[in-house]
Each structure stands twice: as C-alpha cells, then as structure tokens.
A = this chain, B = another copy of it.
Amino acid sequence: MTATTEPLPNGKPNLLAAKRLGIQSVQEAQIFMRKDCHVCRSEGFSAHARVLVSHNGKSVVANLYQVTSDIVAMDEVGMSDSAWDSLALHDGAMVTISHPPPLESLGAVRGKVYGKRFDSASLKEIVTDIQAGRYSDIQLSAFVTACAARPLAREEICALTQAMVDAGDRITWNKRPIVDKHCVGGLPGNRTTPIVVAIVAACGLTIPKTSSRAITSPAGTADTMETLAPIDLDIPTMRRVVEREGGCIVWGGAARLSPTDDILIRVENVLDLDAEAQLVASILSKKIAAGATHIVLDLPVGPTAKVRTREAAEALADSLAEIGAEFGLVVRTVLTDGTQPIGRGIGPALEARNVLDVLQIRQGAPEDLRQRALVLAAHILELGGAAGPGEGAALATATLDSGRAWTKFQRICEAQGGMRVPRVAAYRRVIAAATGGQVTTLDNRKLAKIAKLAGAPEDNAAGLELHVKLGDKIQPRQPLYTVHSESPGELAYALNYARANTDIIGVL
C-alpha cells in the first residue's frame, strides 16, 4: 500500500544558524523563526507548532514562535537558553528544524482520562517522552491531572516508579543497610531531615539523603539545606561525602536520581495537585535510585496538612510499604501530629535557623521540631540496627544533647562544599492580633500560601515567622507572625492576602 507515483520535491535543507537570545524558559524549550523564512514556508509550520531541533546528533522538541520583526534574521533561528543548552550549541552553529514524530504515548494518557489502565510499556514510553522533553505543558498537565482524577492501581504505581528510576542514574553501595527518611510534607516548617541525618550518621549508620525542592510548599528540604551548604552535588561527590561522613543532605535532581520527577513537580506546583500515585512514585523512585534499603516515613496528619485523616494516612502508608516491598525496600511509617506548623520559621532560611537552634541545643530552640526529629531518628536507629528495639529514643537524645550531632552536621556541610549562613530578608512586617484570647486553629495551607506569596522558596530568605502556637493565650495587638520578603512588591502581595484572610490564625 506504499507505492508512490510522483517524486517528492527536494526543498532546501532545513538548516538555520543558531542565535542565543538569552531568554530564560524554565523547562519548555523555545525557538524563534522568521514567519517568512524558507524553513517555515517549506515545512508549513503553523503559528504555535512543536518542532524538532537537531544539531550534531542531539535533538530537542521546542515550541516554535514565528516572528515578524528583526530580532532574528531570515537565515537564523533564535533559541531560548534551555534549547541552547540541551543542544550544547555555539553561536552560528547550523541546526536542523523539522516536524517531530507523532507523540504516540499520549494515546495512553487519553486512555487513562477515560478510565483505562496504564500498562508498564505505556508508562515507560510516557516517562521516556517526558524526560526527553517531548511533552508540552498542555500534555504534561493532562498526564498529571489524569493520574489525580483516575487514581492508579498498585501495578500502575509500580510501573511508574520503575520507569522513573530507569529514566535517571542509580547509585549502588557496597554495604547494607542504607537507611533513609522522608516526610510526606504538607506541614510547614517540618524540617527534621538535617537534624535526623546528623544524629543517625553520628551513630555510625549510612544515610545518603537526597531531598526534593518544594512541590506545593514554600520550602522543600533541599531549599532549606541550600541556605546552609551546597546541595547540587553530582553522584561521585555525593559518594565521597557519604564515605567520609556516613551521611549527606543533597538535592536529588542535581544527582539525576529520578529526574523526571522534577519535571512533573513543576506542573503539580502550578496546579497545586499532588496525586497519590505521583507522591508514591516520586518518593520511592528517588529512594530506589539512591540505593536505600530501610526507610522511615514521617506522615503528618491534620485537617490542613497534606494528609487530612488517619484513614487516608494509613492507606498511603500501606501503599508506600507494599510498593516499597515490591522493590525490596523495608518501609516503616510514623504517623505524626499535623495540626499546626513545626518550629517557627516557614521558608528556606527561616526554617534553617530553627534547625541550627536545635542542633546547637540553644535556649529557646523550638521544642516541637526537636521532639519530632528525635522520634524519627529513634525509628531509624532501631530499623538500621544501631539501637535495640525500644532503645532508639535514648540513643538519639544522647547524640543530640552531647553535641555529637552538631559536630557531625558541620562536618557534613564542610564535605558538601562549605557551611553557609542563612540570609535575612530585607523587608519584614509584623501581623498583630486584632483581639485577645486563646489560639484555637492555625491554617497550614494559608500560612504556607502567605510564605509563597512573600517569595518563598525562590527567594530563600522569604517566608514567615510564627510567634504563637495552638493554645497560647494572647493579648490584643500581640504579634502573631512576621512576614519576610526580599521585595516590596511581594511583601505587599503577601500582606494583601493576609488581610483578606482573617481566619488564618483563629483566636477565641
């Protein structure tokens, strides 16, 4: 059925000279071509096409913008920084522009929208296409939304996890156990990781901790840790840190562990969606890729935390444990109190200062953060065999209170590239109570939103500092919290929201 009777006309080759336009796009690559250049005309590109840009054996799918001005010449193609970097170009390099092959894996996404199960092959294909940059924002969003609206079955989550592991690098360690911890998030300020890693490593266990940046929160552990030390370590550097100190706290994305996760996270962030399947695959794929064998999970539960009920928490814990077991992981889940933020700071640098207070055993260090870190460290010490059953808590407390954890933390920071001092924001404003009474509620989501509006996590000094906790008795005009921001515009933006939402801290 493929006989042809007319010759295919040979056009000019689809070559244009690359020009770096210095445009920063986050993930979607962009190119700019004259609407009337020979390539647009011969290929018949439409005004908003997805095109395949190739150079020297590398290729990237980009959004094409047609241009009628002289920001590019007729024989040039303007490139955004991400397009430029993916192809490792130099100025004037000749690039080929053509139609990308049809995105076949989108058919499986469409099937999922209508309730069909993913099979392993289609999830593998989807993740491969996403990792290669073949999904546009519209298509990424459909995948993320479909997985939230049509919850994935266990086998689908396993296959998604495996595909995400396979899309990146993988670290193997020549010893066991390799312990790890993770918090499911949704609780502002719950920054136990640096403390837990310091305690556990000081007790001789191996804990190569990789963390994420914020998904929908004002700070991820990676964002917070970055205010204290470099976190974008490659795998050989990370391995050297762990071999020397027994632990590290690095950004998973820099190590290319499950890198697709970071692409999905950007979209989840815009939508404020965090589906169970993606949550589980995100957590486990990073742990598997990092070579962990024993994991303790912190699962905060509360009406405004990410997980709102004990039933939902138990279902998620089961899902994590069972899917973890499929990959040979021992997963222990700890349900914790998620009714209010932990510590006082919300935002990378503000949380980092609370972490330092606990590690340095300072007077006035947030007791809730200290206790939460000790509980989790205790579980890991037992799970990893450094303490007998029921003996983890005493060992964790002794390690922290003796200063051994603080010493270990400083050594880890030095090994990662040198310890840093967290910044203080340029603009601050106190929000005070209108009336006196007792603090009865703190809305985690709205507090997190204020911190984000103030600029967190992009501006690491931005966020807010809480001055009250549940149950506190307060006077009229007593400070409730302070908003921190690096720009007057964002400060105003956060304050507008704070003023429009008088139910953020309930006082009765």
Contacts and interface: CB of A to CB of B under 8 A. Distances in A.
Interface of A: 1-6, 8-11, 14, 20-26, 32, 35, 41-44, 46-48, 65-69, 71, 80-81, 98-99, 102, 106, 109-110, 112-115, 136-142, 144-146, 148-150, 267, 270-273, 427-434, 449, 453, 455, 458-459, 462, 477, 479-480, 485-493, 495, 497-499, 502, 504-505, 507
Given A6-B429, A11-B489, A24-B48, 18 more contacts: A1-B432, A1-B433, A2-B434, A6-B428, A8-B492, A9-B427, A14-B489, A21-B71, A44-B489, A46-B458, A99-B489, A110-B271, A110-B273, A114-B149, A137-B138, A137-B141, A139-B270, A142-B144
A487 B43 contact: yes
A426 to B, nearest CB: 9
A46 B457 CA distance: 10
Chain B CB count within 10 A is highest, among A433, A449, A489, for: A489
Contacts of A488: 8-11, 42
B99 A493 contact: yes
Nearest to A491: B8
A268 B430 CA distance: 46
Contacts of A453: 99, 102
Given A21-B69, A430-B6, A113 B44 contact: no
Given A138-B267, A138-B271, A430-B4, A148 B495 contact: no
B67 A22 contact: yes
B145 A431 contact: no
Given A44-B459, A141-B145, A145-B113, A5 B270 contact: no
A136 to B, nearest CB: 7
B485 A44 contact: yes
Contacts of A35: 24
B98 A489 contact: yes
Contacts of A112: 149
Given A24-B66, A431-B1, A145 B137 contact: no
A434 B453 CA distance: 63
Contact of A69 (B22, B32, B42, B459): B22
A26 B44 CA distance: 16
Nearest to A68: B22
B71 A22 contact: yes
A5 B204 CA distance: 49
Nearest to A50: B270
Nearest to A40: B487
Contacts of A502: 1-2
Contact of A67 (B4, B24, B113, B458): B24
Nearest to A479: B5
Contacts of A139: 141, 270-271
B489 A271 contact: no
A4 B495 contact: yes
Contacts of A492: 8
A64 to B, nearest CB: 10
A248 to B, nearest CB: 27
Given A9-B427, A138-B270, A65 B25 contact: yes
B110 A272 contact: yes
A102 B485 contact: no
A490 B99 contact: yes
Contact of A146 (B8, B81, B137, B145): B145
A276 to B, nearest CB: 11
A2 B138 contact: no
A501 to B, nearest CB: 9
A46 B26 CA distance: 10
A148 B116 CA distance: 13
A292 B140 CA distance: 38
Contacts of A65: 23-25, 80
Contact of A106 (B43, B113, B272): B272
A480 B1 contact: yes
A24 B64 CA distance: 9
A436 to B, nearest CB: 12
21 contacts: A2-B499, A4-B429, A4-B495, A5-B429, A5-B432, A6-B429, A20-B69, A21-B67, A22-B67, A24-B48, A25-B65, A44-B486, A65-B80, A71-B71, A106-B272, A112-B149, A137-B138, A138-B138, A139-B141, A141-B145, A145-B146
A485 B41 CA distance: 12
